[in-house]
Amino acid sequence: MLFDGKHQKVLTKVIAIIAMVAFAGFGLVAGGLAVSGGCGASDPLQQAIDEAQSRVTTATAGVDTATAAVKASPKSATAKADLAQAKVDLGEAQSSLAQARLARDPNDPAALTDALAAVDNAPGNSDVVIGLVTVASGQGNPAAALPALAAYTTRNPRDAQIYAYWGQLAEQAGQRSQAILAYQRFLQLAPDDTLAPDIRNRLDALTAQASSGG
């Protein structure tokens, strides 16, 4: 595991924040999560999935409508912009659904499927990419998020935070070269960040392993 103990704070914080944001978006409160399964009690985790699925359905319809508008007016900049926004909206909805599924069942394969679909629709949205990071790491499949992280940084080459996530997941996935490059880029962009000392330590360790052939 990266950043053992207190040093494993980037990904842990992200997972916690993403989960909180996801549930806040569904109108759930902390007390609601403690509802017992007694007679007539609702299941807040299933409710979150159902509401997220409803958002996906609505957003999908929005993409269909925007796509039709572009076909009808292929030269319309407004129609194209509306379609781009509709895809982002769908990606955000799919990301919320993925996180809701993860909260309900950490091993649900549909969570990763939804998170990957979300990134396909909104590859330049950092929240959606971090949602994929959350799911992929939570399911022990960090390699699944690496292509999306690489694609995002192509669009947003100065987002230091994403390079930190990329380095962590690349290291977890055994992709040392990727991790080294991601950590180096993070330090170039944010040399004074609070995470910089931890990342320098990881970078030094990985570089030493590479030099020794380990």
Structure confidence by residue, pLDDT tens digits, 35-58: 334 444 579 999 999 999 999 999
Determine the Cα–Cα distance for residues 127 and 171; give it in Å rounded to an integer: 21
What CA–CA distance (Å, rounded) separates 40 from 56? 27
The reported pTM is 0.81
CA distances from 71 to 61, 86, 89, 91 (A): 15, 15, 20, 21
How many CA atoms lie within 13 Å of 35's alpha carbon, on the beta-carbon side?
15
Contact predicate 98/131, CB 8 Å: yes
Q: What is the pLDDT of residue 213?
A: 76
Place of tokens 């999908």: 60
The total of other beta-carbon atoms located within 10 Å of residue 97's CB is: 28
CB 160 within 8 A of CB 124: no
Mean pLDDT, to the nearest integer, of 161-177?
97
| Residue 26 confidence (pLDDT) | 35
Domains of the chain: 5-33+41-209 (1.25.40.10)
What pLDDT does 70 receive?
Answer: 98
Kindly report the number of other CB atoms within 10 A of residue 199's CB atom. 26
99-133: pLDDT as tens digits: 999 999 999 999 999 999 999 999 999 999 999 99
* Residue 23 pLDDT > 80: no
Contact by Cβ (8 Å): 37, 43: yes
Each residue's pLDDT tens digit, 69-91: 999 999 999 999 999 999 999 99
d(CA 54, CA 43): 16
What is d(CA 82, CA 118) in angstroms, rounded to the nearest whole number? 17
